[in-house]
Amino acid sequence: MSVQETGAAGVSFPGETDEYRRARNDLLTAEMELRRQAEAVAAQRRALPPGGRPPADYVFTEWDAATCTPRQVRLSDLFTPGKDALFIYSFMFDPDVSGRPLRVACPLCTSMLDGIDGAVPHVAQNISFAAAAKAEIEVFRTHAHTRGWRNVRLLSSAGSTYNRDYQAEEDDARQRPMATVFTRRDGTIRHFWSSEMFMAPMDPGQSPRHIDFMWPLWAVLDTTPDGRAPNWYPSLSY
């Protein structure tokens, strides 16, 4: 259905030409189709049958602010009472120059969590949300403090097979930025969805875009004349 068929035509802005308005209306029709397609995909996702049960009630480590010491929590503990969906983002760290493992925070993961940290209190009204890194919890916590994150629940998955089992780690131990959703029904935890587009074939000139839905940076740049600048990615500092 076109803009004209919906009655949306007639919008205009100062100084625009007829040529601009015709092109903009064509684009608006495409944007409406994209909106419909996005909702259709979301509905298809919601209709997924039950996924597999996790092979273990994974043990994670988080920082206990009350005692200022690490503490262990299990996957089943991450579900907030009354909430039966759990979203875990797998945050990447890389080895530092001295060869010690997983000390350097991924700038892209950092940019994404910079943007979503403020939204977490809103997200948490509906689901449980956490970010897990294979690095030690002290390393992850220190990085979060330097970024000013206040809301994301931080976990270390070191010592468990969670990253490997849920595609957040490659065979050579390099980390992957994966988003994973679990559900809990009648006390049973199951895998619901993961951002598998990271491993899917890409068209030329595209990135995987598997977690763009939670990363506002790209959505903003996509509205501008130059779009996503080729070969530009966020940095830890500028």
β strands within the chain, DSSP E: 59-64, 69-74, 85-91, 93-94, 104-105, 128-133, 154-156, 179-185, 188-194
Q: Which tens digit of pLDDT belongs to each residue from 196-219? A: 999 999 998 888 999 999 999 999
pLDDT of residue 97: 54
Which position has the token pair 């679990």? 182
Q: Which fold has domain 59-195?
A: Glutaredoxin (3.40.30)
| C-beta separation of 190 from 96 below 8 A | no
pLDDT at 98 over 60: no
117-140 mean pLDDT = 97
| C-beta separation of 88 from 178 below 8 A | no
Pairing assessment for the beta strands 93-94 and 104-105 based on DSSP bridges: antiparallel
Angle between helices 107-116 and 137-147 (to 10 degrees): 60
Q: Which tens digit of pLDDT belongs to each residue from 142-196? A: 999 999 999 999 999 998 999 999 999 999 888 999 999 999 999 999 999 999 9
For the chain, domain boundaries: 59-195
Q: Quick one: what percent of the chain has pLDDT higher than 70?
A: 93
